[in-house]
């Protein structure tokens, strides 16, 4: 199979979807790998490193899209990239379709095979999302602590305080991979940390593994309203696989919060779990609503590109190789994880939460590829 890796063009997206080690393995398996010139530079990977492992370097994204049978990316295709896709082409990347109807319609119209990293599922876990959730969770507490500084509009609270003063209070919505990593960093900074979740078993685990300046509280509207009243930072990490994130904090709840408090909405890729959230960029990361600072960068791990690239490709490589080795249909039929990753195919939406989010017809993939 001819596998193409274009340079990411989303604002400040410095990750790349394949490392030299990945090229080595694809080439060893008999595939041809095309890399766009400079695609790895944001992650500290040179064209020469790719060439050494057998990749061919092409100058433009159009050459990549024109030649490749499978496009491997990091972020969802931008409008100009959707235009370059071809019918039947495999697109293997983060898609996050539920909050993005224009992209969904674009992929339907192009009749591509859209395989989303974020819906590949194994034993109720999302192995291709987890490494980026680790990065985003750790970043979330770092960014919250940063924007709490008065020059950036925050309350002027130091996360850990100092002797004789209160430490900041961080409320984390969701105790999954992003949530636990946010809690670790916030706790390490010395903040008082409250992790809210609906799963008692998960909260028992968190109580065991997190330090003593963390506590868990059952997540419901009443408790959320109480906990955010004196919060200095609120970090939203809620995720329903493939679906639009629910709004756990509504616009009217912002008035309960202290002026200058910071919200970091890690869920923004799936629409955000705060009603007033909207996607921002690393170039312009925050805005204010009703006195509350919102940080809603939609590609947080792109800021720590080298770490994120290697963490992501460690997870994506084996599935990408399986798709290339077997062809996507055989791979999907033989591997339920890949089957769940197929969001669109031949003009059909094959991921039910995406269809429901946009009120589009849903087609069971098994009816299309048996």
- Give residues with Cβ within 8 angstroms of 244, minimum separation 6: 98, 99, 270, 271, 353, 357
Whole-angstrom distance, CA of residue 254 vs CA of residue 292? 7
Q: Which of 247, 265, 269, 358 is catalytic?
A: 269
Backbone angles phi and psi of 170, in degrees to 5: -110, 125
User: Nearest Cα to 359, choosing from 349, 347, 346, 369?
Assistant: 349
Nearest of 175, 193, 296, 295 to residue 239 by alpha carbon: 175
The catalytic position among 96, 247, 294, 348 is 96
Contact 228, 257 (CB under 8 A): yes
Contact 94, 74 (CB under 8 A): yes
Query: Rounded to a whole number, what is the largest CA-CA distance in the chain?
Result: 68
Task: Please indicate whether residue 96 is annotated as part of the active site.
Answer: yes
| DSSP-assigned states of every residue in 153-209 | TS----TT--TTSPPPEEEEE--SHHHHHHHHHHHHTT-EEEEEES-HHHHHHHHHH
Report yes or no: 329 and 69 within 8 Å, Cβ to Cβ.
no
CB neighbours of 58 closer than 8 A, spacing ≥ 6? Answer: 34, 35, 36, 37, 64, 67
Cite the active site residues: 96, 269
């Amino acid at each position: 199979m001819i596998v193409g890796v274009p340079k990411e063009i989303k604002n400040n997206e410095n990750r790349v979807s394949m490392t030299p080690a990945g090229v080595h393995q694809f080439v060893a398996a008999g595939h041809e790998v095309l890399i766009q010139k400079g695609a790895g530079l944001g992650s500290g990977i040179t064209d020469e490193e790719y060439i050494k492992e057998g990749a061919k370097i092409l100058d433009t994204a159009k050459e990549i899209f024109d030649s490749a049978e499978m496009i491997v990316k990091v972020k969802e295709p931008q409008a100009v990239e959707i235009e370059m896709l071809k019918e039947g082409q495999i697109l293997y990347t983060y898609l996050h379709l539920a909050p993005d109807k224009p992209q969904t319609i674009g992929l339907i119209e192009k009749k591509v095979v859209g395989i989303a990293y974020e819906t590949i599922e194994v034993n109720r876990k999302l192995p291709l999302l987890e490494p980026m959730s680790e990065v985003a969770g750790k970043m979330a507490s770092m960014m919250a602590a940063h924007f709490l500084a008065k020059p950036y509009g925050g309350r002027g609270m130091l996360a850990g305080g100092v002797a004789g003063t209160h430490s900041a209070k961080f409320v984390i919505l969701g105790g999954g991979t992003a949530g636990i990593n946010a809690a670790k960093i916030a706790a390490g900074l010395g903040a008082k940390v409250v992790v809210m979740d609906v799963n008692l078993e998960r909260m028992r685990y968190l109580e065991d593994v997190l330090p003593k300046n963390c506590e868990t509280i059952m997540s419901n509207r009443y408790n959320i309203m109480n906990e955010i009243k004196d919060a200095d930072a609120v970090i939203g990490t809620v995720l329903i696989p493939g679906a639009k994130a629910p709004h756990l904090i509504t616009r009217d709840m912002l008035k309960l919060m202290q002026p200058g408090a910071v919200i970091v909405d890690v869920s923004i890729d799936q629409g955000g779990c705060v009603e007033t959230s909207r996607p921002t960029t690393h170039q312009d990361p925050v805005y204010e609503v009703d006195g509350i600072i919102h940080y809603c960068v939609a590609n947080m791990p792109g800021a720590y590109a080298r770490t994120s690239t290697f963490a992501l490709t460690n997870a994506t490589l084996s599935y990408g190789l399986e798709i290339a080795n077997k062809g996507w249909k055989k791979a999907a039929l033989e591997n339920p994880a890949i089957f769940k990753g197929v969001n669109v195919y031949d003009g059909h939406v094959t991921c039910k939460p995406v269809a429901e989010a946009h009120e589009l017809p849903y087609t069971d993939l098994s009816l299309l590829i048996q």
